[in-house]
Each structure stands twice: as structure tokens, then as C-alpha cells.
């Protein structure tokens, strides 16, 4: 089935939920956890599900011999295309493809995140657009003790060990986004088989 079969279904599928307001951008530049430059050392601190957000982070974890339970990649790093080797490695197992425009959280990416978190097999989500902001709902939706790892440009990998205080902080941050927060929470916290 292509997603363009029915114009109504396509527009509902691209449903914009939240948009990052300009005044929140500076807050997101601060790392939400410790920064690590060595993937093997980072993996020593992982003892639950691992969610990787970003191509370079996913690549380093795979090169260190660990397949993330959930990986979100978009073929880009710092607004430029990743090199061919990284792209091939991180997209080879992509099992879900979704659209998510830059500086937004769309319904398809939230649904894909929920499906991936519920899956028994490692799941790679290939995002057409930008995957950066998905770290926020991933922290809210991931189980206690899970690790969410995302890239901090020119510094390394940020490792967030999911706990209630992180969830509370991310909820408060997401509530400050513009858009349909009510629908966003319904999708994020609703059943994963809603699609």
C-alpha cells in the first residue's frame, strides 16, 4: 500500500502534532545527560532497552557491536548528508519509514516510535525529514531504566538513563511546544496498535 492512495489518508498520515517554538531552541542545546565519546564505554552503562536517535550515534553503537532496540535515522548529521558508509550501515535494516519535518513531531513518527518500542525485534525507523526531536518523546515513552542516546554536535553522545525525573522534565518541555499537545499525548500514551 502506498501512502498516497487516498489524499485524506495521506494528509492525516502527515498530521503535524507539535512544532518547536523558537524560544525553546536554546534550552534543547543543553545535554540532558552525560556526554560520552567512546561507544564501548557508553554501552557498559546500558542495562536495559537502548534507543538511539541519530545516524552517527547509531553507527557508533553498531560499530561497537550493539544493535539498538530502536534506532531513528534520517541520513543527515549537522544538516548535511552523512557519508555513504554510515548511511549504508544505519539504513540497511530500516523496517519503518515515516515523514517528520524539521523542528516538528508528526503523528507518523510518534506512531512509529510506539510500534518500535513495543516490537520484539530491533527496529530502525528511517525518517524523511528530521529525527532529532524524537529523543524527547522517546524519553517519555521508554521503560524505566532504558537508555536513550542522541548526538551532541561536535561533543559526543548524550546518554539519558530513563527515570521519572527525566520523564517529568521532558513532559514539561513538550507541553511548551506549539500545536496539538492533547492529540500528541493520546498517540504517545495510547495503544501502540492504533494505526
3-state SS string for 131-161: CHHHHHHHHHHCCCCCEEEEEECCCEEEEEE
Closest among 130, 114, 132, 136 to 186, alpha carbons compared: 114
Torsion sign across C-alpha atoms 160, 28, 109, 89: negative
Q: In 10 A of CB 44, how many CB atoms?
A: 9
Please report, in range form, the residues annotated as the binding site: 55-57, 74, 131, 154
Q: What is the pLDDT of residue 86?
A: 80
Domain boundaries, the chain: 15-182
Torsion sign across C-alpha atoms 35, 77, 39, 134: positive
- Could you tell me if 50 and 61 are in contact, meaning their C-beta atoms sit under 8 angstroms apart? yes
Please report, in range form, the residues annotated as the binding site for GTP: 55-57, 74, 131, 154
- Could you tell me if 34 and 159 are in contact, meaning their C-beta atoms sit under 8 angstroms apart? yes
- Could you tell me if 99 and 5 are in contact, meaning their C-beta atoms sit under 8 angstroms apart? no
- Could you tell me if 170 and 164 are in contact, meaning their C-beta atoms sit under 8 angstroms apart? no
Q: Look up cell 517519555; give the residue.
A: 140
- Could you tell me if 126 and 94 are in contact, meaning their C-beta atoms sit under 8 angstroms apart? yes
Per-residue pLDDT tens, the chain, 195 aa: give them. 223 333 334 444 458 889 999 888 888 888 889 999 999 999 999 999 999 999 899 999 999 999 999 999 987 776 677 778 888 888 877 688 999 998 999 999 999 999 999 999 999 999 988 898 999 999 999 999 999 999 988 899 999 999 999 999 999 999 999 999 999 999 998 744 443
- Could you tell me if 187 and 17 are in contact, meaning their C-beta atoms sit under 8 angstroms apart? yes
Q: What is the pLDDT of residue 90?
A: 81
- Could you tell me if 84 and 164 are in contact, meaning their C-beta atoms sit under 8 angstroms apart? no
Amino acid at each position: 500500500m502506498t501512502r498516497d492512495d487516498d489524499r485524506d489518508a495521506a494528509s492525516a498520515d502527515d498530521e503535524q502534532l507539535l512544532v518547536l517554538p523558537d524560544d525553546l531552541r536554546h534550552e534543547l542545546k543543553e545535554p540532558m545527560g552525560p556526554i560520552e565519546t567512546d561507544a564501548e564505554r557508553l554501552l557498559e552503562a546500558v542495562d536495559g532497552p537502548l534507543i538511539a536517535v541519530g545516524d552517527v550515534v547509531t553507527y557508533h553503537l553498531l560499530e561497537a557491536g550493539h544493535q539498538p532496540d530502536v534506532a531513528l535515522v534520517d541520513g543527515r548529521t549537522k544538516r548535511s548528508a552523512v557519508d555513504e558508509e554510515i548511511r549504508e550501515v544505519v539504513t540497511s535494516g530500516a523496517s519503518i519509514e515515516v515523514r517528520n519535518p524539521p523542528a516538528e513531531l508528526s503523528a507518523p513518527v510518534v506512531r512509529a516510535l510506539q510500534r518500535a518500542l513495543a516490537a520484539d525485534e530491533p527496529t530502525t525507523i528511517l525518517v524523511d525529514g528530521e529525527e532529532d526531536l524524537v529523543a524527547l518523546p522517546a524519553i517519555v515513552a521508554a521503560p524505566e531504566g532504558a537508555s536513550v542516546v542522541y548526538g551532541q554536535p561536535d561533543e559526543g553522545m548524550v546518554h539519558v538513563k530513563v527515570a521519572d525525573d527525566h520523564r517529568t522534565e521532558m513532559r514539561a518541555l513538550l507541553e511548551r511546544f506549539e500545536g496539538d499537545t492533547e492529540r500528541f499525548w493520546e498517540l504517545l500514551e495510547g495503544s501502540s496498535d492504533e494505526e
